[in-house]
Amino acid sequence: MFCSYSPKLFFFLLLHLFLASTEPIPSLPNVEKLSFHEGYTQIFGDSNLMLHHEGKKVHISLNERTGSGFRSQESYLYGFFSASIKLPSDYTAGVVVAFYMSNGDVYEKTHDELDFEFLGNVRGRDWRVQTNVYGNGSTSIGREERYGLWFDPTEDFHQYSILWTYDTIIFYVDDIPIREVKRVSSRDVYFPLKPMSLYATIWDGSTWATSGGRYKVNYKYAPFIAEFTDLVLHSCATHHALACASASVLSPEQRLAMESFRRRYMTYGYCYDRIRYAVPLAECNVGPEKELFLMSGESRAYERRHRMKRRPWRGTADPGF
């Protein structure tokens, strides 16, 4: 008797085994959770930023008047940066929540950036997560990837983290590595190498965030509130450099978990976008797996699942993504 195979069930089983057999990643010494006043400052949004539980929880909101955001008080050259985030629910088309590193305020034309961007959607459709990596002002050469998630990010807090060392960048969701970026060589000018600050913002991305701008923010559902807690700013400078470098080397179990996530949940990869890049960028190691993606870089499997799940829309807009 044969058992039916479910890729989603396989991923859940792998995730359970992975979390049961490993310590939280990365395993770094002296990682402390900060209150807002210990490490951050508000940058815009006045009363749209609110502190709770003695500054250990931060709410940033978007309404018709303004968005809001905060940043770290200091800048960092390499480190581990993390927050547990709960996203707005219901109709969130056009809403963008960003958790990212940047030095654009200092290096206007040659800035670096590491992004988690959470892209809202119409009711009944999931949030999408996008990661970006820009170095030395390379915003004209996008290195975006987009993913679905194995949970509803509006129901509870989930941890999103960035580990950045001199030659490796790793993005994590709930301790699962989802993307690894390696410095190609010492002459790789597109790898971020200048100090950056950490930012968290919520804003109106109606022009692009949902179905390429087809669905806009509908302010009758405002305020849109993103909640942040478990804030971590951990420098990898000086005496922490070796620990960070060690943590940036993925174990076989970590790599298996990452590859499983990417097969199941990556919906777009710039390395597979043959319309945008006829010749893959230097860091892209494209093999036979490129056949799993359309010419546009979109996942064929995701497109099939999307069509199968599509249902008649009874509201004022169709399902979007």
DSSP state for residue 5 in the 8-state scheme: P
CB-CB contact of 15 with 172 (8 Å): no
Is 113 noted as a catalytic residue in this protein? yes
Residue 63's CB: how many other CB atoms inside 10 A?
17
Active site residue 117: yes
- Which tokens go with 103? 């030095």
Give dist(CA 308, CA 27) in Å, integer: 40
CB 177 within 8 Å of CB 25 = yes
**76/114 Cα distance (integer angstroms):** 13
User: Measured between alpha carbons, how far is residue 309 from residues 11, 125, 261 in Å?
Assistant: 19, 10, 20
Cα dihedral 149, 153, 156, 159 in deg (nearest 10)? 70
User: What span, in angstroms and rounded, lies between the C-alpha atoms of 191 and 53?
Assistant: 38
Task: Give the bridge partners for 172, in sequence order.
Answer: 161, 177
- Rounded to whole angstroms, how far apart are CA atoms 79 and 167? 12
**267/290 Cα distance (integer angstroms):** 13
Are the beta carbons of 131 and 171 closer than 8 angstroms?
Answer: yes
Candidate list 38, 113, 289, 303, residue with the active-site label? 113
| Active-site pick, 64, 117, 155, 180 | 117
As annotated, the active-site residues are 113, 117
